[in-house]
Structure 1
């Protein structure tokens, strides 16, 4: 079943990786807006969920977030994290940097111990204002599914200019203030093998991760139903093998099976 999230605030949900997470969705509540069109996305394919409603405004996000945080302060639960996620790529919002400023101020006011996280596909980190905003938050979680550009065009399916070399250079510019998130999976898509758990994919990816030198790597596999039904989870053994290779570099790793 495809998941389309309410906007601008949803949850809290219990995240496999982040704990009690209050979601912030900067995309329309009636569809999906993303610079990728991943074949494994829980929100489905872009073409199947064209949004008709506008993006929430900065003011709408701030007002809704403050109301929800005030309610959680009075009635619980206490959030571990405020997570920018939802129906597409949050950094695509034209006022993403300003919304981050508002969110940090509200976090400090209501739940100063909560973290602010952004789940991003990394396609807008070349924009200085987006880069600066991501540098201010607690968990700057950036997608890097592989360093094989053909694989990315098959699986992540960027719908605008995409240069893997540029993305990696911008990731390195965070100087360790980022978390790399990678989806490992198996199966096929339109007759093409999309298993990225073998050394052919893992070893070059590991070299790039070492260059980026993030403070953590999150590896995970398919959890919810995907729009393409020929995809399979990576096994516990495959994920553990990859995690061991990361640990050997000295970079902390978390695994979500």
Structure 2
């Protein structure tokens, strides 16, 4: 289950996802809003997961089944992609496809020169900047205890100063946590120093790790946009459903399992997967009975997410 999609991305068009961190969620953070759910393996140690050759083979096989070439090959696993010690070589091998390569990272390991070196090969990198305040950073991102706020910021600024590709930042706002005016002004100041091509503001649109997480109201969202714009940032809002126009491989079961491992599947999208793969409409219910996926309701919408059955990790509430 290395590849999934392509899925419609609010930032990248049609994005073929690469899940380079296998199994249950392995991450340096346990963000309260994470759509993948609880962090089950909490670590700072980079390790070997899939070999670069395995990732290349999986991407090539997936591409061979698609009717159209995706806009990006995107490392967006159920965890932190830079924990993969082979990330640089995997990117290098995938460059031969001619398709732009993106990495979505929480930026926690940018203090490591090897991580910065790996990301330097990507065409597009998104870094997470949810708070420019240590207390709020710990509350919303719940970083590994050995991570320091100053170390996180230093790595962020060092990478931004040398990266030659398209750099984006993303701030996900949670009601009552990081959506206050003063906090957003501090955050905008930090992001302005990074000088990204785009500074994205987003809100929870899929089931979060903690049930207590709520999206900000319209007033807070509008205020945040004005604060970012006034700071000179090219700000864009990511507030809605991306659409259901997903890619397909002809194997609905595998498409559902692969996508739901890293990307909760909304009801409209599930319908498209089944239609495009000419699969029976009872397949989601069958996978629920087999305990491969589970159904959840979030903001009155139905989603299916991968049902990992190991011991519960950090982040459930």
Q: Which runs of 5+ in 1 are unaligned?
A: 1-6, 187-193
2:40 is matched with which residue? 47
The one-character-per-residue Cα deviations of 1:192-229 (angstroms, maximum 9, x if unpaired) are xx421112311111111122222221110101011211
TM-score (norm 2): 0.68
Secondary structure of residue in 1 paired with 2:65: helix
Query: Whole-Å Cα distance in 1 between the matches of residues 222 and 92 of structure 2?
Result: 37
1:84 is matched with which residue? 75
Aligned 1:126-165 pairs, distance under 5 A: 126-165=111-150
Q: Does the 8 Å CA contact 2:28/2:144 hold for their aligned counterparts?
A: yes
- Structural RMSD (CA): 2.0
The equivalent position to 1:184 in structure 2, one of 173, 182, 202, is: 173
Aligned 1:223-242 pairs, distance under 5 A: 223-242=205-224
Q: Does the 8 Å CA contact 1:176/1:214 hold for their aligned counterparts?
A: no
Q: Does the 8 Å CA contact 2:25/2:39 hold for their aligned counterparts?
A: yes
Query: Whole-Å Cα distance in 1 between the matches of residues 114 and 61 of structure 2?
Result: 27
State the Cα distance separating 1:48 from its structure 2 match: 9.1
Structure whose CA Rg is larger: 2
Aligned 1:188-207 pairs, distance under 5 A: 194-207=176-189
The one-character-per-residue Cα deviations of 1:111-142 (angstroms, maximum 9, x if unpaired) are 4xxx3211101111122222122222221100
**Residue-pair matches, total:** 230
State the Cα distance separating 1:95 from its structure 2 match: 0.6
Q: Does the 8 Å CA contact 1:122/1:143 hold for their aligned counterparts?
A: yes
Q: Does the 8 Å CA contact 1:172/1:213 hold for their aligned counterparts?
A: no
1:67 aligns with 2:61: yes
2:25 is matched with which residue? 32
State the Cα distance separating 1:78 from its structure 2 match: 2.6
Secondary structure of residue in 2 paired with 1:43: coil
1:219 aligns with 2:191: no
Query: Whole-Å Cα distance in 1 between the matches of residues 181 and 233 of structure 2?
Result: 19
Pair 200,248 (structure 1): closer, same or farther in 2 beyond 3 Å: closer
Query: Whole-Å Cα distance in 1 between the matches of residues 173 and 232 of structure 2?
Result: 21
Q: Which runs of 5+ in 2 are unaligned?
A: 43-47, 240-317
State the Cα distance separating 1:169 from its structure 2 match: 2.4
Secondary structure of residue in 1 paired with 2:208: coil
